[in-house]
Structure 1
Amino acid sequence: MQFQLTSQPIETLIGTMHPYAGGIVTFEGRVRAINDGRIVTSLEYVAYPELALFEGHAIIDEALERFEILKASAIHRTGHLKIGDIAVWIMSAAIHRKAAFEATEHIIDAIKTRVPVWKKEYYANGETTWVRCDHCHHGGKMHGAIG
């Protein structure tokens, strides 16, 4: 597994690490109950799968070339997520920890800016909004991408 999208809980998909790795860094981006001072009850992620997978694999390949890592993987959820669910999971394995940390940071930053996944927040007051989606129609249809 290098990069994948899934509608299933991520906890069940995390695979084995690399046997030569002395440093393994994992990152879990979880659904939180508050954002910008608003109470969040859940999130929905929608992706453009073909482009998301293409770009996700490219990001992992870049990290493998740019950093001295042995292995890297990332999973991004789609669908409706509840508070506490893992929305994105990243793993970088390296002989030394510094490379693993740097690669993991690079991967999450690149996923957030380059992979076409849109996030909709559901709030306690019944409102919803597409997050950082200037071109989205706020009546529920999606018209533009965010990272």
Structure 2
Amino acid sequence: MSDAASFGYAVRLTGLWAAWLLVMLFHVELGLMPLFHGLSVEIKSQVASSRVPRLFLAMLFYFLLPVGAFLVAVHAIADPAGWSASAPWRAAQFWFSVVYSLTNVVHLTADIRIPDSRTDQVLLMAVLTLIGLLINQQAWAWCQL
């Protein structure tokens, strides 16, 4: 494996994960923006109140797992011959990114199908999905080294 090639893929993957995380944060922030103008952001929910803490925990993990992928890619940049740049970890980056891309496609589809969905949120989900597909492409190329 070429250290220069591995380094390049790890750098691009790190940048893409950082962009994905920033857009994800902005998606949430923009979703809550009506609160600052005295408007409600309440969505009719079928989730029982007793299940809300588990939902929050799931969302926390949904956000923290890409942070982990980002950190593993950063480690691969810092130590191209180390464990984080090994074939199993490169493959894990790819399959992890595929799972997240699938969840983004499902979320984007749901947002599009909601009759009163906000255009800004749909646009942000489209950007998240596009960045996710770029992550898939870079992770796949890195995995093939």
TM-score (norm 2): 0.30
Question: More relative contact order in 1 or in 2 (CA 8 Å, sep 6+)?
Answer: 2
Higher helix share: 2
Q: Between Structure 1 and Structure 2, whose CA radius of gyration is higher?
A: 2
Question: Could you tell me the TM-score, scaled by structure 1's length?
Answer: 0.29
